[in-house]
Homo-oligomer: A and B are copies of this chain.
């Protein structure tokens, strides 16, 4: 039973906020700004300044007391913290509606992610192009993943095919899986999985709504 192997990543909440900092900082730089303080940043992001300071501390960047941080430094520090300087190539498995949406999302470039091909089992999709990416027969996944030297896979297939598709990815040498299915994958130790559960956010929203209503 080869699972449970992933060591725990710490400071998850801070890590999750990094892309938003990055987005805002990039915007600021475009607007000609050079420095920013935690106070300003906090206001933009609806956070407490102390949270921002702690988050940024994580990237190792150092600001100037009385002044703030250099925006350029911050951007670089966050990118290298996330290793988003070096573009990662990924393949996407499952060209359904979510898969299509992800293929169409242009923001990934900014995050150092480049989806180079898609795979599906549906003959009507195989051979077609979706947002400029060719859709290959899923049978060819191990072969192509290995030949293309990809090490990230984005999994958007129906639940029942999740584990099988993951196995094929791993066979093809992929060691990072972004898992949008409703299945906890069983993977060897060297493979890293990030599961995305869309309904989690809805659950949180529901609870927030409940609690608010109950109080008033």
Q: Is the CB of A83 within 8 A of B206?
A: yes
- Bound CA–CA A196/B211 (angstroms): 20
Q: Is the CB of A192 within 8 A of B208?
A: yes
Copies of this chain assembled into the complex: 2
Q: Is the CB of A197 within 8 A of B19?
A: yes
For window 6-25 of A, CB contacts with B under 8 Å fall at 6-7, 9, 12, 15-20, 23
Does A62 interact with chain B (Cβ within 8 Å)? no
Give which listed residue, B83, B190, B201, B206, contacts A82 with CB less than 8 A. B206
- Bound CA–CA A87/B18 (angstroms): 34
- Bound CA–CA A194/B44 (angstroms): 16
Q: Is the CB of B205 within 8 A of A192?
A: yes
- Bound CA–CA A107/B200 (angstroms): 12
Q: Which residues of B contact A18 (CB under 8 A)?
A: 200, 203
Known: A202-B178, A208-B176. A105 touches B98 (CB 8 A): yes
Does A184 interact with chain B (Cβ within 8 Å)? yes
Does A50 interact with chain B (Cβ within 8 Å)? no
- Bound CA–CA A209/B107 (angstroms): 21
